[in-house]
Each structure stands twice: as C-alpha cells, then as structure tokens.
Structure 1
Amino acid sequence: MGTDNSAEENDVSDFCIVIKRRVFGDKEPKYVAVYKDRPRDIRIAYMIALKLLTWYNCQAMLEFTKITFQQFLVERKKENLLMSRPEYAVSVRSKKKQNKRLIGVPGTESVIKHGLELISGFLADYYYTIDFPEMLEELLKYTYENKRKFDMIAAMQMAEIGDEALTGVTPSKPTVTKNN
C-alpha cells in the first residue's frame, strides 16, 4: 500500500464510512458514526474505518471495486468485517463460481438507484434521527448527475444495502399487470 497519490489530484473523492444502528427493540434505526476524510496516506483512513467497525461490532458493505480496503482487512485477518454480496447482486456468471465468497456490490446504475430508494425510505420514516450536519447538507444538495461528488451519500447507500441484506429482504422488479 503506501501513500495514495490520488490525493494530489483535483476533484478526488474522500474516503467515507457511515455506521448505521439497525432497528433494535424499541430503538429506531440511526446513523451513529461518520468518518469522511482524504488523508495523504490512505492507510490512516483504513485504520480508522477498522476501529469504527470493531467498536460498533458491525460489518461493512463495500462497492466491490474497493479492493485496497478489502486487502487491508484481509492482511489483518479481519475479513469477517466485510459483508458478502447480496444474492440479488450476484450475476449468473459469478453464481457458477460459488466456491469464492464475493464481497461488495457492483457500482451499476441499478444498484445505485436501489441504494437511493433505500435512503429515500429511511428519510421518509426517520429523517429526524440524523444528527450530522454534513450528512444533511449532502442530502439536500445531492443530484444524480453529480453523484460522484457526494461521498457520504454513496456510503449511506452501502449502509442501507447492507441493512437490507441483513433483513433477508430480496428486492424484486415491479410487475406490471394489464387490466382487460
């Protein structure tokens, strides 16, 4: 690993992780931790993320292209902190290779839109539980066209997809019925 040279480029993404407390007893779901930064040495961000995952005793849903963070956790024998790819996001091709545990979800348009729908559902029911001003600001300014500039929204999408995967709910395409 080492220094992340992309930090020197203009218009780079920040490393962002959000921790969401799931519904537990009479407690409502809530985002309880946020870390968003772009340190010169990306390992610092990875170590902070590892500490957050350990402290909150949770797992991370990643976009599957985040290979360096995945390798960082594997090197430390912490791959148990990574969630497997949800069944609905497994392609026919990768189903044939079931001997390998797939990590994370693809960054496809359908997955991104599904994540946004899940965030919308969370906001409809629990908007008042958000305590992070930067999260509220990104939610207010977000546009799909500029999605790459909203790292916290992307992290929220992964948290919501992970939450959905833990509930065992499998999203399906809406069916259209014709009335005769």
Structure 2
Amino acid sequence: MADSVEVELDHHLAGHDAADRVIEAALYRIVELARLHREWQRAVAAEAGLSLADCEVILRLAHLEAPERTPSQLARIFHITAGSMTARLGRLEAGGYLTRTVQPGNRAQIQVDLTGKGKVLHHRFADQMVEIHQQMFAGALPAEDRETLNDLLRRLLTHVEATT
C-alpha cells in the first residue's frame, strides 16, 4: 500500500536527477508526519475551545519551575514578542486557566501560574496526545522497530544539530 509520499515523490523529484530518492522520501515522510501531528494537536486544543498556541503555553507552564514562569521567559521559549505572549496570557487568564501575580519584592516581575482549571486542561491535553502518539506508533510498528526508529532519528538529529 502506497502512502501519500510515494504517490507524490516522482512529481516532487522531477528534474532533480541528483536527488537521492531514499533521503527525499524519508524527509518528506518526516515532514508529513509532523504536519499530521500538528493537525491532531490543533483538533485536541479546539475541543477545549483554545488555539494550539494557547494549549502549548499551558503545557509548558505545567513543567516550568517557579522562577521560569514569567511572561518574558515564556516569550523567549516560544520565540515570540512580549506583546504576543501578553495577549496569549490575557486570553488564558480570562478563561480561568492561569493567574498572573506581581511579585512583592520586584514589581517588574510577574509570576504566571496555572489554576486548577489549567492543570486539568494540561492533563487532559497531554493524555489525549499520548493516546494519539500510541495510535501513531504502536499501531504501525512493533516495539523493536520503534526502538530502532527512535535510535535512527536520534542519530540524525544529533548530526544535524551538531552541524548548525
């Protein structure tokens, strides 16, 4: 059974005789899997009435230590402007998912914390994504193949990160 990459690969490689078909197919598959994963994440976030960007803030906040839970730190993590992060935090605060508190010793410092509602959303979103991940991988690959795939991807990423 052919996947979407196999169906389109000849079209993508037309006129590019120097391209290695195996490398190009593997890369297209990684990109397509990432695209589909992002769509599933968006769908899960939409079930909660939120954007994926907002859910990602909740997920990250759940795993940050107190000194790191500031709007400026979050903006750095997500590579967005302080104004964009302020808008995200405002939406999440209005929805009851988090609070922003001015620190008594430093009024310029704002601490961001998840509320109970935010923690519930974090767990629900994370649990749904784990289930999707299980369906993606366990449904297609036996455990040994998943280990091999993980090792190969680790080696590839390590190489690419070392060269950039």
Higher normalized contact order (CA 8 Å, seq sep 6+, divided by chain length): 1
Whether these two folds match at TM > 0.5 is no
Bigger Rg, which one: 2
Hey, which of these two has a bigger chunk of helix by percent?
Answer: 2
> What TM-score comes out, normalization by structure 1 length?
0.25
